[in-house]
Amino acid sequence: MDLSKLTRKELEANYQKIYNEKSKIENAYAEIYVELEAAKMKLNWYEEQIRIHQQKRFGASSEKTQTDGQVSLFNEPENDQVMFLPEPKVEEVIAPKKKRYGHKKEITKQFPIETIEYKLSDEERNCKNCGNQLHEMSKQVHVQLKLIPAQIIKEEHVQYVYSCRHCEENEIETPIVTAKMPTPVIKNSLASPSLVSHIITRKYVEGLPLYRQEQQFKRDGINLTRQTLSNWIINVSNSYFKHIYTRMHEILIQKDILHADETEVEVLNEPGREAINKSYMWMYRTGKYDDTPMVLFDYQPGRNGEYARDFLKGYKGYLHVDGYAGYNKVADVTLVGCFAHARRKYTDALTAISDKESRSHTEASKGLEFCNQLFKIEDEIKELSPEEKYIKRIESSKPLLEAYFSWVEKTAETALPKSALGLAVNYSLNQKEKLKKYLEDGRLEISNNAGERAIRPFVIGRGNWLFCNTPKGAKASAMLYSIVETGKENNLNLFNYFEYLLEKLPNINLEDKQELDKLLPWSSELPSTCRVPNN
């Protein structure tokens, strides 16, 4: 095209056409670029999630975060340097003596002794050289632990009835007196305190499902179906253990420091709900310094915060929780956040980074180091009294917390909200006031790890028996796990304790709180057989 022959008007029209085409191409390129960047971000997010899930599934469960070559942000080498410290001479380096653990006398001192002696007969004591009698010079003692397997005994309780022969012969009203006999655990049943205690401890302490107990009983020649075992457990729970549970609940809400957590439980036959719907086991436990340690479980058909609110009705104090918003519905409590959850999110953010060599130079590593330093302070002061802890936290932890949240606020402005780092910093930002609450009282803890440890036995047990059949079974399990875990906290022999409860509870006034208090896991009136000997 010869542009010199075109008129001005034609040139302007051609220029406008070219300009419009160029704008279309630029707009199309911009749209493709935006879509490409969005796809890259989405791909990076999926790759992060895959790495995080792989670490959770196949990686070590420990939250230790020190890696080779990682430089601490707060402990530079020059901070630990001591000037003019002489090098130790080779001859001055003495290997520490290896401590001896598990000495036989310490392990076996609480058990009764059965002595078996091995002696020579009179003929064998004749000296082969001179024929004179050998005398006892010394003895060698070999200690072993002998295990006596469980033994089933048919126990007949014969209750005699008496009448007056004289009254019978003289046609006077005849008095009839029956000898007193303890009330059985379950009337007209084979269940005894020891048998029911055995079934309970096998399931709720050792995690052995009822169908496997059924098989074991069958191998011993006893036909006890799992339905029978389940009925016994639910029966004694509703008849007796609920009174212990209710009394512990009354005492729990009078405390001033608690921990809470919750986990899923599957209940197959729940009226009005499908089996795939999630139910929850809620856990509440006392604080570290409580003189009556207890752990209570509460079964509920959901995770609504109203369940926690209703269970803790009347409680006024501190409540250690994770970041679940449902606990905000609990009235009249001060929520204390969990720095272990905050730290875990930075661990996930580091796991999401594919280049391992660059992890120590990322923002996630800075957040993790802040958390590690806060936990290090807690480790250094763990042996101090609550009053001393409070002072040390104000001196050391408070300035570090202020620096940490200043960094969090700055990092949150640039971090992508849905990235692993964005989730980590936004968690701390949203939980800021709760995470700082542990500074208010030396009895409070930096994390809710105590709550997680208390709920873990239920999670492990759930992995064995998988589900509860009915809500009644789930509620019975909540009561029994409460007594089991509280018994552990009070150093009880759980088989002996359950047997003792089942002997006493049917024969006392269950509405008498003073009588119930004598049977609680921390009661000083429990017999010594209910306690684990201290090694």
The reply to whether 461 and 439 lie within a common domain is no
pLDDT value of residue 47: 64
pLDDT value of residue 72: 43
Q: What is the pLDDT of residues 214-227, one digit of tens each?
A: 999 999 888 999 99
The reply to whether 477 and 524 lie within a common domain is yes
pLDDT value of residue 271: 66
Q: What does residue 44 show for φ and ψ, rounded to 5 degrees?
A: -60, -40
Mean predicted confidence (pLDDT) in 183-206:
92
Lowest mean pLDDT among 42-46, 78-82, 94-98, 418-422: 78-82
**Is the residue at 513 inside a domain?**
yes
The reply to whether 433 and 493 lie within a common domain is no
Domain count, the chain: 2
Supply the Cα-derived Rg of the chain in whole angstroms.
35
For residue 452, name the pLDDT band (cuts at 50, 70, 90): very high
The reply to whether 399 and 524 lie within a common domain is no
Q: How far apart are CA 324 and CA 175, in angstroms?
A: 67
Q: Does the structure show a pLDDT above 70 at 194?
A: yes
**Is the residue at 368 inside a domain?**
yes
Is beta strand 161-163 parallel, antiparallel or unpaired with respect to 257-265?
unpaired
The reply to whether 524 and 420 lie within a common domain is no
pLDDT value of residue 164: 85
Mean predicted confidence (pLDDT) in 177-192:
90
**Is the residue at 56 inside a domain?**
no
Cα separations (Å) of 195 from 202, 220, 497?
A: 11, 14, 13
The reply to whether 513 and 412 lie within a common domain is no
Q: What is the pLDDT of residues 330-345, one digit of tens each?
A: 999 999 999 999 999 8
Q: What is the pLDDT of residues 90-132, one digit of tens each?
A: 444 455 555 554 566 776 777 788 888 888 888 888 888 888 8
pLDDT value of residue 103: 65
CA nearest to 471, candidates 225, 298, 288:
298
For residue 137, name the pLDDT band (cuts at 50, 70, 90): confident
CA nearest to 471, candidates 301, 307, 262, 310:
301
**Is the residue at 384 inside a domain?**
yes
Lowest mean pLDDT among 99-108, 137-146, 169-178, 243-252: 99-108
* CA 145-149-154 angle, 5° bins: 145
For residue 305, name the pLDDT band (cuts at 50, 70, 90): very high
Q: What is the mean pLDDT of the chain?
A: 83
Owning domain of residue 376: 338-447
pTM: 0.76
CA nearest to 199, candidates 228, 221, 171:
228
Give the torsion sign (CA, 504, 506, 509, 510).
positive
The reply to whether 315 and 422 lie within a common domain is no
pLDDT value of residue 75: 44
For residue 416, name the pLDDT band (cuts at 50, 70, 90): confident
How much of the chain, in percent, has pLDDT values that exceed 70?
81
Q: Which residue has the higher pLDDT, 279 or 394?
A: 394
Both structure tokens of 44: 């990076």
The reply to whether 218 and 253 lie within a common domain is yes
The reply to whether 368 and 396 lie within a common domain is yes
Q: How far apart are CA 334 and CA 209, in angstroms?
A: 39
3-state SS class at 318 = strand
The reply to whether 266 and 196 lie within a common domain is yes
The reply to whether 195 and 306 lie within a common domain is yes
Q: What is the pLDDT of residues 195-212, one digit of tens each?
A: 999 999 999 998 888 999
The reply to whether 458 and 502 lie within a common domain is yes
Q: Which residues of 294-310 are buried (b: 16+ CB within 10 A; e: fewer)?
A: bbbbbbbbebeeebbbe
pLDDT value of residue 149: 76
